[in-house]
Structure 1
Amino acid sequence: MPLNDFLFYFQLGWSHLVSFDALDHQLFILSLIALYTLPDIKKILILVTAFTVGHSITLVLSAIDIFRLPSNWVEFLIPCTIVITALSNITKIKFKTNATTINYYFAVGFGLIHGLGFATTIRIILANDQNIVWGLLSFNLGLEIGQLFFMAFILLFTTLALAYFKVNKNNWVLFISAAVFSLSLQMALKRISFN
């Protein structure tokens, strides 16, 4: 694969997470790691990578035309995954990271749904490309690096809030999760359309 093609797909994956149009993706990552702090970095890396794996599976299946869902369903289901994840955070009483095993299932399972969200776009782009495997690999690498960048930003912000501004962790998790919940619920309600 020529370097220009690699960079094109890498940039596409990167911007799929860090652009202003990627709010649903950013909200999901935020809700997924809201319960964690810097000492939990290994768990967070596993969560983010699990999300990329789920995302990649449906992206590949859809890109090679094995599995598709109507786009209006996908656009509705994506914010629903964020609502469920944020609600799960809110309902956890003590916010202990060992009680958050369900987040690993959310990461993979909801990653499957999120992967369908970009599948139509990437399918069109890859239609003229003979090297679909390298295109998808480059895209997913850009996505993963973008997620790690966003995750580092969240952890820095969380560390500042908890360590330097002495915000209570339970209050922090409730604030972040409630904000994500309300934004994603509003997003889901705006996207209801099953025609």
Structure 2
Amino acid sequence: MVNFWFYVEMGLNHVLDLSAYDHILFLSALAIPFTFKSWKKVLVLATVFTVTHCLSLMLSVFEVVVVKVSLIEFLIPVTIFLTALFNIVYQRRIQEHNSILLHVLATAFFGLIHGFGFSNYFKMLISGEEEKWIPLLGFATGIEISQVIIVLLVLCLAYVCQSLFKVRPSIFVVVASAIVLLITIPLLYSTFPW
């Protein structure tokens, strides 16, 4: 059981690590279009991301799928960029439309990519472990907890901007997503594999 909590902490640190802020950027981009009124949708998206992230980790740990690291390191900022761009282009539709199916599908695909991005490091960490499931479950738990924290922070920021400072939701979505885009551009450049 001690190992489980070690991996929960590792999952927390993995997502909340400010020096490796790609998860924070992606989750922020994912949550920007939503408010506390739609918290269930955001929780669904964060859970889909966790499940697919851990699925790709599992596929990698058990060597079912092996992916080129340089390609994945480039695709991670691509997923962030596309999510933020989607927010800007479709911001009105996101807020008015009840279906999040497109978001769920994109989040699932992006979760797979992010999971493969961490898989080599994770495999190295658990190489001495006989049982692989406890580390995976602990890590998934830590990821989900940290994602909920980030999503809550983004929803709080949206609330403060939109309710207290009276920023229109569409303006908030565009400006916040543009900030994510600007932060992501150097990541795209630095990880470009060709």
TM-score w.r.t. structure 1 length? Answer: 0.94
Aligned equivalent of 1:21, options 19, 31, 34: 19
More moved, 65-74 vs 92-101? 92-101
> Structure 2 CA distance, aligned partners of 1:110 and 1:122?
18
Amino acid at match of 1:20: L
Out of 89, 92, 101, the position equivalent to 1:91 is 89
Cα distance change on mapping 1:60 and 1:93 into 2, 3 Å: closer
How many pairs align? Answer: 192
Q: Return 175-184 or 132-141, whichever deviates more.
A: 175-184
Give the aligned partner of residue 119 of structure 1.
119
- The alpha carbon displacement at 1:109 in A equals 0.7
2: CA distance, partners of 1:51 / 1:77: 15
Contact in 2 for aligned 1:13/1:141 (Cα 8 Å): yes
Tell me whether 96-105 or 161-170 shows the greater mean CA deviation. Answer: 96-105
CA RMSD of aligned residues (A): 1.3
Q: 1:27-74 CA distances to partner (integer Å, 9 max, x unpaired)?
A: 100111111000001101100001111101111001111112111111
Cα–Cα, structure 1 residues 97 and 124, in superposed 2: closer, same or farther, change >3 Å?
Answer: farther
> CA–CA distance in 2 between the matches of 1:155 and 1:77?
26
How far, CA to CA, are the matches of 1:72 and 1:50 in structure 2?
A: 24
Residue segments in structure 2 that go unaligned for 5+ positions in a row: none
Q: 1:28 to 1:97 in 2, by over 3 A?
A: farther
Identity rate, percent: 31
Secondary structure of the residue that 1:68 maps to in structure 2?
coil
Instruction: Give 1:97 deviation, angstroms.
Output: 4.8
SS of aligned partner of 1:22: coil
In structure 2, give the amino acid aligned to 1:77: L
Could you state the TM-score of these two structures normalised by the residue count of structure 2? Answer: 0.94
Q: Match of 2:177?
A: 177
